[in-house]
């Protein structure tokens, strides 16, 4: 049996130990140049960032009680002004005591609480106050997180793994469903107390960089988190205190890529079939087109390899065409201008800021019904789904009538399940759909397990069809 989209360990640039990452996710970074005149929208953002440097400028304490329909909007401002979105996070830090000291301190790694505290102001400054994360509560757990099979390291076992003297435990994935339950996350989200969970730990703790819980959860640089009591979508971030602020923001970058890929239904290089593909275009990965958009989290516009943030070569980029979105050049090539890494300071963290600052923030919906405020969609995936109900994964529908209400879905009577409309529901597909676990799919000829939808489907089914 083939497994498609199953997460594997990967090593971040300069990493000493593996960290969780989604398999097959195309990395992305935003390209840019330093124009002689700053476009008006960008200039406004920079001025807003300067204002945030004033004492108390980024504070979100005392936010008014949010209604369920608009629970994350603090102040929408004028009709044509981007909404200001407040997001409240619960932080759970796993920092066990090892030989009388906290693991983070014993290993000489980051102070986890200090690292977490740097994330909200970075977001406020970068977005000129548009996205305001607030840590409403921080819980420090003096233990290693349990894995999905119940295993948990002790101090000696963990240090042997770090030293390469023992193999990491398999399965590696932490039991995040149990973590949500232990901290009453779903109920707190329903009550409007928090919006998301931020976890922090060390290497081999088994956290994904980003994952999404909730009935309508979709691929979020990782498979949807099933088995929780969450009704609303709940982003679950997994940070690593072996690393620093750039890696934490990098995790948010993959969250953004996954959100926009779900919003637009696909993301391929060497294509400008939709606005997101234009935005995430990378010249080095697009030999036919030969120019970049804003790049991806791994590949800035000028990059020729992963994490190549300081490549000084000049490439053509259409990234600045997104400053006045939805207004765009009809012909993508007409918007291409020369760009170098000077646009973001040839620096990793500078690139992340530059990339996010180019995400559209216009009000309203496109002609195809997609929200024009991409930044708000990244910050609040539940809001995005509320604007575009057709994006609710087909598998959420448990009855033929609710399945039929979604034009991109169809009911498969042979398996009593809702699947993508372009899946050929023949005998072969029905045989695969009948296998509802990875062991059963292992035994089914011509089938592959797709982690994004947790389904067994015919081998060769496209990710777009499988994950819908």
Residue 297 is classified by DSSP as S
Integer Cα distance of 50 and 34 in angstroms: 18
pLDDT of residue 53: 39
3-state secondary structure 81-105: CCCEEEEEEEEEEECCEECCEEHHH
Measured from the Cβ of residue 401, the count of other Cβ atoms closer than 10 Å reads 8
> Are 172 and 216 in contact, with CB atoms under 8 Å apart?
no
**Tens digits of per-residue pLDDT, 191-216?**
999 999 999 999 999 999 999 999 89
- Counting Cα atoms < 13 Å in the Cβ hemisphere of 358 gives 31
Are 412 and 430 a contacting pair, CB within 8 Å? yes
Output the pLDDT for position 15: 28
- Predicted confidence at residue 71, as pLDDT, reads 57
Contact yes or no for 222/209 (Cβ under 8 A): yes
Tell me the C-alpha distance between 167 and 38, whole Å: 52
Global pTM? 0.78
CA 428, 396, 280, 422 torsion: positive or negative?
A: positive
Sign of the dihedral through C-alpha 185, 436, 168, 16: negative
CB 255 within 8 A of CB 377: no
Q: What does the block give as tokens for 102?
A: 């906290």
Element (H, E) at 21: strand 19-21
CB within 8 A of 335, min separation 6: which ones? 318, 320, 321, 328, 329
End-to-end CA distance of the chain: 21
Q: What is the mean pLDDT of the chain?
A: 85
Q: How far apart are CA 260 and CA 249, in angstroms?
A: 17
Total count of residues recorded for the chain: 468
Query: In the structure encoding, which two tokens stand for residue 467, read together?
Result: 């994950």
Per-residue DSSP letter, 260: H
CB 354 within 8 A of CB 317: no
Enclosing H/E stretch for 458: strand 455-458
Name the stretches of the chain with pLDDT < 50. Answer: 1-69, 74-77
């Amino acid at each position: 049996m083939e497994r498609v989209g199953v997460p594997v360990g990967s090593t971040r640039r300069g990493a000493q130990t593996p960290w969780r990452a989604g398999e097959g996710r195309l990395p992305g970074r935003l390209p840019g140049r330093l124009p002689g005149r700053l476009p008006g929208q960008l200039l406004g953002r920079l001025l807003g960032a300067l204002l945030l440097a004033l004492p108390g400028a980024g504070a979100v304490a005392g936010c008014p009680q949010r209604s369920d329909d608009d629970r994350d909007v603090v102040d929408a401002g004028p009709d044509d002004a981007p909404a200001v979105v407040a997001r409240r996070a619960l932080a759970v830090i796993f920092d066990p005591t090892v030989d009388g000291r906290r693991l983070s301190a014993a290993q000489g790694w980051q102070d986890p609480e200090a690292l977490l505290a740097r994330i909200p102001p970075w977001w406020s400054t970068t977005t000129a106050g548009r996205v305001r994360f607030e840590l409403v509560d921080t819980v420090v757990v003096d233990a290693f997180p349990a894995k999905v099979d119940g295993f948990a390291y002790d101090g000696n076992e963990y240090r042997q793994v770090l030293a390469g003297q023992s193999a990491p435990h398999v399965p590696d994935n932490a039991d995040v469903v149990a973590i949500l339950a232990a901290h009453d996350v779903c109920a707190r989200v329903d009550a409007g107390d928090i919006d998301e969970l931020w976890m922090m730990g060390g290497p081999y703790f088994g956290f994904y960089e980003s994952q999404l819980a909730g009935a309508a959860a979709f691929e979020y640089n990782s498979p949807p988190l099933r088995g929780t009591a969450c009704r609303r979508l709940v982003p679950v971030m997994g940070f690593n205190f072996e690393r620093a602020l750039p890696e934490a923001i990098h995790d948010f970058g993959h969250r953004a890529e996954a959100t926009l890929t779900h919003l637009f239904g696909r993301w391929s290089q060497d294509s400008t079939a939709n606005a997101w593909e234009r935005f995430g275009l990378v010249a080095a990965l697009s030999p036919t087109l030969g120019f970049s958009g804003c790049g991806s989290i791994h590949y800035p516009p000028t990059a020729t390899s992963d994490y190549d943030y300081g490549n000084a070569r000049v490439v053509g980029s259409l990234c600045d065409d997104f400053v006045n979105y939805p207004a765009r050049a009809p012909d993508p090539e007409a918007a291409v201008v020369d760009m170098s890494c000077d646009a973001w300071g040839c620096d990793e963290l500078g690139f992340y800021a530059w990339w996010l600052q180019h995400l559209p923030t216009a009000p309203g919906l496109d002609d195809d019904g997609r929200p024009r405020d991409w930044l708000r969609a990244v910050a609040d995936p539940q809001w995005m789904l509320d604007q575009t109900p057709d994006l609710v994964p087909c598998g959420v529908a448990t009855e033929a009538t609710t399945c039929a209400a979604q034009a991109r879905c169809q009911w498969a009577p042979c398996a009593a399940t809702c699947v993508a409309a372009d899946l050929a529901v023949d005998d072969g597909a029905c045989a695969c759909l009948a296998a509802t676990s990875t062991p059963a799919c292992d035994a089914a000829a011509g089938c592959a397990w797709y982690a994004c939808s947790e389904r067994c489907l015919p081998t060769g089914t496209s990710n777009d069809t499988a994950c819908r």
